[in-house]
Amino acid sequence: MNFTKMHGAGNDFILIETSDENRDWSRIAMAMCNRHFGVGGDGLLVLSPSDKADLRMREFNSDGSEAEACGNGLRCVVKYAAQNGLISAGTRQILVETTAGIRQAKLYRARIQVSMGEPRFGVKDIPVMIEPSRGEAVDITPILDYPLTIDGKELLLNFVSMGNPHAVCFWQHPVADFPLSQLGPEVERHRIFPNRVNFEVAKVISRQRIEARVWERGVGETLACGSGACAVTVAAQLHGYIGNRVDIKLPGGILSVEWDGVGEVLLSGQTEVVFTGEWSGEV
């Protein structure tokens, strides 16, 4: 089985082009993403034909769970499609079917910009099992600075759905000092998140720049996370920390995010092919 290893800002994926929907992709993802006995990666991207868009993408985390949304994975898929003739030469805009819906992508010379859809804030959208404050519209009102105590430490969480669940915590100190490996898994699997959650810790550097780290649901800490960068941007703008565009500095690189406060969130950045190969392990 042929594969291509790619990354977006260090968020690395194994991409397989196939029309076979019957394989156990969860099991294959766990085997191939293993960094000691497999190829190694944060996730497996399964690229297949679509009757609704130009392409279809599914993303499986390294623990075998399937993610609803994956911004860096989406950008990798679009670059692969352009480089391997899956879209017409010169095409600058394509549609990709994902579990979270149809996503639009634009190709530029040095970067790929993808639409991540409109953020949602309802307790059912996240989902999160909490009681809203009196007078709140539970389906539309953002839940900001919700206090959650983990290991004796109070975290103020901001909930955003980018098609997948996110909890963003703004931190006044360098994010490198945050005990993410200790608190990340506790937040991810906290009882208020029935589907688990992606957890971001972020520090606002200026109105144009934020530094962040991400604990990804089903993976652990990753060098970057596209949907996480989008969630951080949305939460920061709701607080009034930034304007409509910001650079998110992650350990693996910088992702640029745009949001006008009402429409879809746009994510852009570079993607790279690392190597190609043939998998002869379990299929």
**Which is catalytic among the residues 33, 70, 76, 169?**
70
Pairing of strands 220-222, 209-216: antiparallel
Q: Active-site residue 76, yes or no?
A: no
The one-character DSSP state at 131 is P
Q: Active-site residue 33, yes or no?
A: no
Separation CA 263–CA 266 (nearest Å): 9
* Three-point CA angle 96, 97, 101, nearest 5°: 115
**Which is catalytic among the residues 76, 169, 225, 230?**
225
DSSP character string of 189-231: T-TT-TT--EEEEEEEEETTEEEEEEEETTTEEES--HHHHHH
Q: Which phi and psi angles does 119 have, rounded to 5°?
A: -70, 150
Separation CA 116–CA 216 (nearest Å): 17
- What amino acid positions are annotated as catalytic residues? 70, 225
